[in-house]
Structure 1
Amino acid sequence: QYQEMEESVSEYKTIDSSSLTVVDSLDNVGHFSDLALDSENNVHISYRDSTNWVLKYAFFDGLSWNTTVVDNSSNVGFSTSIVIDSNDHVHICYFDVWGTASEVDLKYAYFDGESWNISIVSNMTYMHNSVSLGISSDDKLHLIFYHHINYNTPNIKYAVYDGESWDISGISSGTTSSQTISLVVDSNDNVHVTFTGSGLSYGFFNGTDWQFSSAASRGYLNAIAVADNGRIYISHSSGSSWHGHSVDVAMFDGDNWSTLPAPPYNDDQSRPSAISTDSNGNVHIAYFTGCGDYGPYGCDVRYAAYNGSGWQSYELETWVREDGRSSPSDLSIVIDSEDYVHLSYKNMRNEELMYANTIVDFDQDGVRDKFDDCLGVLGTSQHDRGGCPDTDGDGYSDPSDDWQLADGADAFVNEPTQWADLDGDGYGDNPEGVNPDLFPENPDWWLDLDRDGIEDSLDDDIDGDGVSNDLDSWPTDFTRGVDTDGDGLADFVQGKVDGELIDFEDGSHGAVGMHCADDLAGFCMPDYSPWIITNNSITGSYSLEQQMWASDTGHFSVSFSAGTDDVVTMQVYVSSFLIEQQCIPILLDGVSVDYGCESEGFGYYDNITINVTEGDHVLRVYGTVLGEGNLVDNIQLPDYVISSNEDDDDDNDGISDGHELSFDIDSPCRSDPLDANSTPHNNSVINSIENFHSVSYWWGYCEVYLDSDGDGIMDWEDSCPDSFGDLGYESETPGCSSKSDEKMKSSSDDSLMTYGIG
């Protein structure tokens, strides 16, 4: 009726230590632990405190563990078994050794939401075996236990509690009082039990009759589980005694019993294993290995899962027992409805109750098998499918034979910024990604550089800078337009530019200004900089870290401009001295920023957002007296507007644009910087001045000289400005006639026109 299956290969793994939690660390606690889950999948554990001889109970409320004493009446808490009903009320069965070893009560504790109610299920004569408790959908309790009377009577007892009383009956005879009994109620409210009979015995109760069969030729330390697909699994010792053997798992497929390949790293079992099944019907066990028969040291806790073809084995904790200490106590394992695995056990070396958790994930891709659409395949996709191959890591799975683009597969398997192409034009639908489609429902259109809703092939100003494409020397650069002189430099540059991210990843603090503490003013740099680059970073490789000598006056500053009302964001970590921390002072334009930091605690971390108005600003971040180790990182500045004259001489006339525009608006020297034929000394205004001789100018200052008589001598130097003369500058009377007796006179007052700035 049962057969051995072929051996399988397993990979050795270790569960992350962060998943291990100490539930109760009081001296010598955690014996006989059992675990159950409530409707919110919160964990509840029953266990014995062997120092105080009491029954204890621990539960996790979603935030922290809480422990309480349930029964401290005598020597209680042996062989606990726990279930949770539909109202999330707790039920525990356990042994109370109130006298000698032959004076034992099987007890029942029930928490009604306010207090514990404790009663006796049965008086016993010996307590060398376990009990196992289950619950059906109608909240009836089902209990199996071994009642030591004699081997000729049905000493395997089955009890049902309807909320008022226990109905106890004998269902079979076991062969020893030192055996482990296990019970489970399946999703159809059928009861399944296992115990040691002539071999490994299995019993099934359909509500009317019990049916028994042999699951294996030998079996001690039994535990049973039933999968949703109806398969039955029993973990048990492979030997003919209760210690020193490996763990086997028997499986019933509805017709026959068989034995699964042996779980790996599996020897010297000395305590019962624990067993459960996941949403896909796979079996999971927890077991101790290398423990021997109370031998010194060794003894590891392992968890293993079988997916139908092979085992995966994980090490929970090593060396959980020291020399001279007893064998580790019972394990418990439960898998919840979301395929999270929960385990409890006692670490005998530290005498602590331990809890561990992990996920059902056979292909080790971080996606629980319940939600993994590509079981057995390592994959990281999460949007269209879970746990499937995702070459570019954008969360969308690669196409496959049974999963095409129409199903949601990645249309761009090597481009992480694009994944969908609704119109099939080869351009991605993510407008912020590489090669975006700005018209995702039109296969003939995709480009719209300025995002004005007009496709670029139809847009006469592609970059939206106000300069038509035919006149724009940079038709795809919205910050540049006209290049009048064709020298490759824009006449003017203007536009909104993305704000700078100061992340210090270049390994320097060059993006910020450093300011010494007052008592180090003038000589702190570089050896005593108030803030330095550190690889003890908040994120990335580097952050800015405060030094001791920053004191409360050393600081760094950032000058920036905001194109509109916007925000500055940054990350800060405030270190603490004992339990006191001094918040980092942050000032915007000299005004302190309140970012919610409090002075008490063991360190403060925050992502800060600072509102800023349009215009120029200065941000200053100061040190504190006790703030050595404070960190600042990822200062994101707002977008800003650039406005500059990239080409100093737009018309290439040899005179800078600024010079041509430096004159007053009414000055004849003011010229057009975009017209090479318009200069301060040659333009339409200058050329229209009557009797013009010449002009002298410098930045913003213009002097126009006249020659009224046209003799080439400027009026202000012409001794005879009203008559043409042949005498030159070498004469004592320049501008006069050598044949004339005309009396020399002074130059006219209006012989010179001067234009200053303004």
Structure 2
Amino acid sequence: MKSKPIIMIAFLMAILPVMSYGQWSTEFVDTTGKVGNLNSIAVDADGYSHISYFDRTNWDLKYAHWDGSAWQVEVADSTGYYGATSIVLDTLGNPHISCKLEFPEYYHCIAHIWWDGTDWQRDVIETGTEMFQDIGDYTAIALDASDYPHVAYTHYPSSDFGYLKYGYKDASGWHTVMIDSIGCVDGVKYCDIALDNQNYPHISYYDYDVYDLKYAYWDGATWHIESVDTAGHVGKSSSIALDSLGYPHIAYTDGTNYGVKYARWDGSAWQIETVESDIGYGFYTSLALDANDHPHISSAEYASDLRFAYWDGSVWQIEVVDDAVGCGWTSLAIDGDGYSHIAYYDDVYEVYDLRYARRAPTGVEETRPIPAALHLAQNYPNPFNSVTSIQYTLPRDSFVRLSIYNISGQLVRTLVNRPQKPGNYTVSWDGRNNNGEELSSGIYLYRLDMGEFKDTKKMILLR
């Protein structure tokens, strides 16, 4: 994809290492600055992943997609001030994203941003009536059978209450309604949306006043609102999916027992169960149903592991996907072949990367070759004026630090500072320091430290 001329296309990210965790493989998608938080993932008909996410360094909305051989990364919108993002693909495989913008200046709005096959387009769904009035901090998007967008979002018009709102687009434009009003600061959080076969919306959300999981749906004539789970502090990070009968399934955080809960409607009542507990808080849950309507859930142990749970038809199976991260957000999708795909944010200090994990269906094991020798390659291109790539190879598990120094030997940027698995790595540097500031032209040194191995090479930045 290309973006409008006024929007700079971000670097093309070469595939980063594939690291195996049982049936899981993980890799880096974007490592340029503080990127990857508030992400959302969707998978197309070819099983390729599409991810929307927040670039905190440049305050951009970014978009990455796998083209079959490499990750393509670009800026979808550079207006600024983004909250949670949500992505869905239309019948042509083009991405549609809902998110919060600051547009016009100092006024927050909820927006629909989409790729029309040629350029990125933007609709403003609703704008706050006062400066800095929070609208769209949490949002979710779905497309109906005609590819019209439906968006759930939060709105905090004052310090006294918060709204759950819903917007939908038809041939005449956008229409918005208030579904629920809750009388406390930031009254509604963590909403998600799914459409049934009549294109009616179903929304899960968190009632911040009484700490409950709630559910709202439209029956064609009126909105219905229910409290699904009221047992303690429950309902943060809610994620909803509808099964083949149109019944809702919801995954969410159990703040009382520090774990993950799951609720499903069986046609007459809500069935609620604990997936896992005492894991240091099951944050950032994301739910997807497989072809058998079995639930799969990604979650984060607070500032620690990326976790995954699925129902095998008899019991919950629990897996640690990545234990070398400080996971700060997750989003899960399942493709048509049963592969699970997770976008996740590594929130470790001085890391802040967008990462991706893929799991083969049960019984399918993927293997990748392990490099035979350690190697630090010359950056390419060199000289460079915007972005350059640095490649290195690890033959074994190592704690790796990849750093950039100026010609005086002063540290200007830390690109990698973490344990890594064997593999071939590519890391991009955008010519900025750790504060996100552009550096001047000159000679810079990049140094790889891995235990007893140290290697340094020169590169030239030309502005």
TM-score strictly above 0.5: yes
2:107 is matched with 103
- Does 1:55 pair with 2:65? no
1:166 is matched with 174
Q: Counterpart of 2:93 in 1: which secondary structure?
A: coil
Q: What is the rounded CA distance, in whole Å, between the counterparts of 1:162 and 1:336 in structure 2?
A: 28
Give CA-to-partner distance per residue, 1:646-686, whole Å, 9 cap, x none: xxxxxxxxxxxxxxxxxxxxxxxxxxxxxxxxxxxxxxxxx
Following TM superposition, by how much is the alpha carbon of 1:188 offset from its aligned partner in structure 2, in angstroms?
A: 4.5
- Does 1:236 pair with 2:252? yes
Runs of 4 or more off by more than 4 Å in structure 1?
A: 150-154
- Cα gap change, 1:152/1:268 in structure 2, threshold over 3 Å: closer, same or farther? closer
Following TM superposition, by how much is the alpha carbon of 1:127 offset from its aligned partner in structure 2, in angstroms?
A: 4.8
What letter is aligned with 1:139? D
2:325 is matched with 320
Following TM superposition, by how much is the alpha carbon of 1:304 offset from its aligned partner in structure 2, in angstroms?
A: 0.8
Following TM superposition, by how much is the alpha carbon of 1:222 offset from its aligned partner in structure 2, in angstroms?
A: 1.3
- Cα gap change, 1:227/1:15 in structure 2, threshold over 3 Å: closer, same or farther? farther
Q: Counterpart of 1:118 in 2: which secondary structure?
A: strand
Following TM superposition, by how much is the alpha carbon of 1:36 offset from its aligned partner in structure 2, in angstroms?
A: 1.2
Contact 1:47–1:80 (CA under 8 A) maintained in structure 2: yes
TM-score, length basis structure 2: 0.67
| CA RMSD across the alignment | 3.2
Following TM superposition, by how much is the alpha carbon of 1:45 offset from its aligned partner in structure 2, in angstroms?
A: 0.5
Q: Counterpart of 1:181 in 2: which secondary structure?
A: strand
2:289 is matched with 277
Q: What is the rounded CA distance, in whole Å, between the counterparts of 2:331 and 2:48 in structure 1?
A: 15
- Cα gap change, 1:285/1:166 in structure 2, threshold over 3 Å: closer, same or farther? same
- Cα gap change, 1:279/1:187 in structure 2, threshold over 3 Å: closer, same or farther? farther
Following TM superposition, by how much is the alpha carbon of 1:343 offset from its aligned partner in structure 2, in angstroms?
A: 0.7
1:340 is matched with 339
Q: Counterpart of 1:309 in 2: which secondary structure?
A: coil
- Does 1:23 pair with 2:29? yes
Following TM superposition, by how much is the alpha carbon of 1:98 offset from its aligned partner in structure 2, in angstroms?
A: 5.5
Q: Counterpart of 1:237 in 2: which secondary structure?
A: strand
1:227 equivalent among 238, 243, 250: 243
Give CA-to-partner distance per residue, 1:281-323, whole Å, 9 cap, x none: 110101111x2xxxxxx511101101342111111112423xx
Q: What is the rounded CA distance, in whole Å, between the counterparts of 2:114 and 2:58 in structure 1?
A: 21
Contact 1:157–1:169 (CA under 8 A) maintained in structure 2: yes
What letter is aligned with 1:330? W
Contact 2:44–2:335 (CA under 8 A) maintained in structure 1: no
Structure with more strand by fraction: 2
State the structure with bigger RCO (CA 8 A, min sep 6), 1 or 2.
2
Q: What is the rounded CA distance, in whole Å, between the counterparts of 2:281 and 2:361 in structure 1?
A: 26
User: Where do 1:527-542 residues align within 5 Å?
Assistant: none
Q: Counterpart of 2:85 in 1: which secondary structure?
A: strand
Q: Counterpart of 2:83 in 1: which secondary structure?
A: strand
Q: What is the rounded CA distance, in whole Å, between the counterparts of 2:72 and 2:306 in structure 1?
A: 24
2:387 is matched with none
Percent identity (aligned): 24
Following TM superposition, by how much is the alpha carbon of 1:138 offset from its aligned partner in structure 2, in angstroms?
A: 1.6
- Cα gap change, 1:175/1:335 in structure 2, threshold over 3 Å: closer, same or farther? farther
Contact 1:30–1:352 (CA under 8 A) maintained in structure 2: yes
Q: What is the rounded CA distance, in whole Å, between the counterparts of 2:162 and 2:156 in structure 1?
A: 10
Give CA-to-partner distance per residue, 1:714-758, whole Å, 9 cap, x none: xxxxxxxxxxxxxxxxxxxxxxxxxxxxxxxxxxxxxxxxxxxxx
Contact 1:219–1:236 (CA under 8 A) maintained in structure 2: yes
- Cα gap change, 1:18/1:337 in structure 2, threshold over 3 Å: closer, same or farther? closer
Q: What is the rounded CA distance, in whole Å, between the counterparts of 2:82 and 2:161 in structure 1?
A: 27
Contact 1:194–1:224 (CA under 8 A) maintained in structure 2: yes
Following TM superposition, by how much is the alpha carbon of 1:345 offset from its aligned partner in structure 2, in angstroms?
A: 0.8
Q: What is the rounded CA distance, in whole Å, between the counterparts of 1:317 and 1:163 in structure 2?
A: 45
1:113 equivalent among 117, 123, 130: 117
2:87 equivalent among 56, 69, 82: 82
1:144 equivalent among 147, 152, 170: 152
What letter is aligned with 1:35? I
Structure with more helix by fraction: 1
- Does 1:288 pair with 2:300? yes
Can you give the 5+ residue segments of structure 2 that lack an aligned partner in the other structure?
A: 1-19, 370-374, 379-463
Give CA-to-partner distance per residue, 1:254-301, whole Å, 9 cap, x none: 1111212332673323x4211111001110101111x2xxxxxx5111
Q: What is the rounded CA distance, in whole Å, between the counterparts of 2:66 and 2:28 in structure 1?
A: 12
Following TM superposition, by how much is the alpha carbon of 1:58 offset from its aligned partner in structure 2, in angstroms?
A: 0.5
2:203 is matched with 193
Q: What is the rounded CA distance, in whole Å, between the counterparts of 2:56 and 2:171 in structure 1?
A: 30
Q: What is the rounded CA distance, in whole Å, between the counterparts of 1:192 and 1:175 in structure 2?
A: 22
- Cα gap change, 1:276/1:225 in structure 2, threshold over 3 Å: closer, same or farther? same
Contact 1:44–1:60 (CA under 8 A) maintained in structure 2: yes
Contact 1:110–1:118 (CA under 8 A) maintained in structure 2: yes
Following TM superposition, by how much is the alpha carbon of 1:133 offset from its aligned partner in structure 2, in angstroms?
A: 0.6
What letter is aligned with 1:196? Y
Following TM superposition, by how much is the alpha carbon of 1:239 offset from its aligned partner in structure 2, in angstroms?
A: 2.8
Contact 1:151–1:174 (CA under 8 A) maintained in structure 2: no
Contact 2:24–2:360 (CA under 8 A) maintained in structure 1: no
User: Where do 1:745-756 residues align within 5 Å?
Assistant: none
Q: What is the rounded CA distance, in whole Å, between the counterparts of 2:82 and 2:42 in structure 1?
A: 16
What letter is aligned with 1:259? I
Q: What is the rounded CA distance, in whole Å, between the counterparts of 2:164 and 2:32 in structure 1?
A: 35
Q: What is the rounded CA distance, in whole Å, between the counterparts of 1:164 and 1:30 in structure 2?
A: 35
Following TM superposition, by how much is the alpha carbon of 1:154 offset from its aligned partner in structure 2, in angstroms?
A: 8.1
- Cα gap change, 1:137/1:87 in structure 2, threshold over 3 Å: closer, same or farther? same
Following TM superposition, by how much is the alpha carbon of 1:103 offset from its aligned partner in structure 2, in angstroms?
A: 3.3
Q: What is the rounded CA distance, in whole Å, between the counterparts of 2:329 and 2:221 in structure 1?
A: 32
1:463 is matched with none
Q: What is the rounded CA distance, in whole Å, between the counterparts of 2:295 and 2:236 in structure 1?
A: 19
What letter is aligned with 2:98? C
Q: Give the greater-gyration-radius structure (CA).
A: 1
Give CA-to-partner distance per residue, 1:462-492, whole Å, 9 cap, x none: xxxxxxxxxxxxxxxxxxxxxxxxxxxxxxx
Contact 1:28–1:51 (CA under 8 A) maintained in structure 2: yes
What letter is aligned with 1:272? Y
Contact 2:332–2:341 (CA under 8 A) maintained in structure 1: yes
Contact 1:247–1:267 (CA under 8 A) maintained in structure 2: no
- Cα gap change, 1:151/1:231 in structure 2, threshold over 3 Å: closer, same or farther? farther
1:260 is matched with 273
1:250 is matched with 263
Q: Counterpart of 1:83 in 2: which secondary structure?
A: strand
- Cα gap change, 1:122/1:56 in structure 2, threshold over 3 Å: closer, same or farther? same
Contact 2:23–2:359 (CA under 8 A) maintained in structure 1: no
User: Where do 1:63-78 residues align within 5 Å?
Assistant: 63-73=69-79, 75-78=80-83
Give CA-to-partner distance per residue, 1:580-611, whole Å, 9 cap, x none: xxxxxxxxxxxxxxxxxxxxxxxxxxxxxxxx
- Does 1:203 pair with 2:203? no
Following TM superposition, by how much is the alpha carbon of 1:213 offset from its aligned partner in structure 2, in angstroms?
A: 1.7
2:311 is matched with 306
